[in-house]
Structure 1
Amino acid sequence: MFPYLGLKASTKQSQIDERLQYHPQVFEFFTTEQDVTPSGLIHLRDMIEYVKAAGVSKIVIHHPMKFQGIHNEVAVDQTSHRDGYHFLMRSSEALIKLAIETDTQVLIHGGYNSPLSEILSNYSSIEAARKVVFSRLDYFQSIGGDHVMFENSISPLYDYGDPELENLVIEHRYRLCYDTSHGFIVLHGDNAKLQASMAHLHDQIVHYHFVDSMGKFHDSLELGKGAIDWSALKPVVNMNATNIFEINLKDQMNSQEMRNSYQYLKACWQTSV
């Protein structure tokens, strides 16, 4: 029942076992560059089956955030960053293929937070770079269908909260992951605008990253420890979606902050109108 106890872990079995003891209903794999090597993909497939065998049917694979220590940007320039571009495309294609074969989901970030100076060193304008992002997302959607979704960032290349971009997202009929902290940061901590953004994209959201924030920078706080008004979000969330709690952990072998966030949101929404 929504909200789900959704937990995230790497592909290390020790982390996975720590999460599984709490019987999550949704499980998200945080993958790295190593997880999309031939041996890494075999291990990832094994861990997907391991999680399924524990009774979890709702599984998401989070595309690697970095390549060679740099954010794995969808807008990576094909000419000046040839290796990064090939990694983006090969890893996305491989994970989408795996997701189709295992009936799971792949989450791809539409962007991260490359400095404007870096974006403009490769493209003539933000609009030109954004066109590249949407072209590549169109391709991933064409091969992934109902097995791929796209997450908002705090980059102007793919930031929910920007009405112009949201209208494009709706026009392209993307399946979406909405990260609440990213939206809140883009909107400078404005709760009313966050609610409006989530309501606007409601029908296309299939997954949430529930994360608190002070709305100033990427702080990934436990729910209730930031400035997001969680009670006010209940009427605007899509309860047909899945969710995880993507919180910074003090110890990767202890999912306490994620589980605390689940209990907080459940209690909050039980007392909300």
Structure 2
Amino acid sequence: MFPYLGLKASTDRNQIDERLQYQPKVFEFFTTANDMTPAGLDHLRAMVGHVQDAGVDKIVIHHPMSYQGEHNEVAVDQTSNPDGYQFLMTSSKKLIELAIQMDVQVLIHGAYNSPQSAILSNYPSIEAARKVTFSRLDYFQSIGGDHVMFENSISPLFDFGDPEIERTVIEHQYRLCYDTSHGFIVLHGDNAKLRASLKNLRPQVVHYHFVDSMGKFHDSLELGKGAIDWQSLKSVVNVNATNIFEINLKDQFNSQEMRASYDYLRAAWGMPVTD
């Protein structure tokens, strides 16, 4: 029953088994550039199978966040950073191929948080960089179909809460991952605007990252530790979607903050803490 106990881990077997002991309904893999090597992909494939064998059929693979010390940006400039561009395209295509083979999902960040100055050092305008972003997302959608989704960011290149971005993602009929903390930060901590954004995009959201925030910067707080009004979000989320709790952990081998967030949300929504 939605919301699910959704947990996230790297491809480390010990992290994965710590999560699996709590019988999550949704599992998301955090990957790195090392997971995109031939050996890394073999290990990832084995770990996806391990999670499936544990009875979890709702699995998401998050594409690598960084490459050579920089964010793995969809809008990476092909001319000034050919290696970064090649990694973006190759890693995304490899993950989509794996997802289709194993019937799981791939999550690609539409952007991260490159400052406008960095964006404008490679593109003549934010609009031009957005055009590149959407062109590449269109490509990933064309090859990934219902196995790929795109997550919002705090960058002006793919920030939910921005009316123009929301109109475009609706027009392109993208399958979406909505990160609540990213939306809240973009909207400067305005709960009413966050609810409106979630409601507007609800039909296309297939996955949520439930994360709290103070709405000022990327803080990834446990639910109830930030300023999001969780009770008010119950009526604007897509109950046919999946979800995880993407919380900063004190110990990567202990998912306590994620599990506490699940309990908090169910209590806030007037639901039993356990199914």
Assess same fold via TM > 0.5: yes
**Letter aligned with residue 118 of structure 2:** E
C-alpha separation in 1, matches of 2:55 and 2:123? 46
Pairing 1:227–2:231 present: no
C-alpha separation in 2, matches of 1:165 and 1:71? 21
SS of corresponding position for 1:234: helix
C-alpha separation in 2, matches of 1:165 and 1:21? 39
**Letter aligned with residue 191 of structure 2:** N
* Equivalence for 2:99: 99
Pairing 1:15–2:36 present: no
C-alpha separation in 2, matches of 1:115 and 1:205? 26
C-alpha separation in 1, matches of 2:104 and 2:239? 19
TM-score between both structures, scaled by the size of structure 2 = 0.98
* Equivalence for 2:184: 184
* Equivalence for 1:58: 58
C-alpha separation in 2, matches of 1:268 and 1:114? 34
* Equivalence for 1:262: 262
Superposed CA deviations along residues 188-240 of structure 1, whole A, max 9, x for unmatched, are 00000000000000000000000000000000000000000000000000000
Superposed CA deviations along residues 132-155 of structure 1, whole A, max 9, x for unmatched, are 000000000000000000000000
Q: Structure 1 residue 248: deviation in Å?
A: 0.1
C-alpha separation in 2, matches of 1:115 and 1:167? 23
5+ residue gaps in structure 2?
none
* Equivalence for 2:214: 214
Superposed CA deviations along residues 64-86 of structure 1, whole A, max 9, x for unmatched, are 00001100000000000000000
C-alpha separation in 2, matches of 1:77 and 1:155? 16
* Equivalence for 2:113: 113
C-alpha separation in 1, matches of 2:98 and 2:59? 12
Superposed CA deviations along residues 78-131 of structure 1, whole A, max 9, x for unmatched, are 000000000000000000000000000000000000011110000000000000
**Letter aligned with residue 127 of structure 1:** E
C-alpha separation in 2, matches of 1:56 and 1:178? 21
* Equivalence for 2:246: 246
* Equivalence for 1:49: 49
C-alpha separation in 2, matches of 1:160 and 1:254? 31
* Equivalence for 2:157: 157
C-alpha separation in 1, matches of 2:142 and 2:253? 37
C-alpha separation in 2, matches of 1:52 and 1:165? 35
Which stretches of structure 1, 4 residues or more, deviate above 3 A after TM superposition? none
TM-score between both structures, scaled by the size of structure 1 = 0.99
SS of corresponding position for 2:100: helix
**Letter aligned with residue 195 of structure 1:** R
Pairing 1:144–2:144 present: yes
5+ residue gaps in structure 1?
none
How many positions carry a matched residue from both structures? 272
C-alpha separation in 1, matches of 2:80 and 2:199? 39
C-alpha separation in 2, matches of 1:196 and 1:81? 37
Task: Quote the sequence identity (%).
Answer: 78
Superposition RMSD on alpha carbons, in Å? 0.9
Pairing 1:204–2:228 present: no
Superposed CA deviations along residues 233-267 of structure 1, whole A, max 9, x for unmatched, are 00000000000000000000000000000000011
SS of corresponding position for 2:251: coil
Q: Structure 1 residue 270: deviation in Å?
A: 1.2
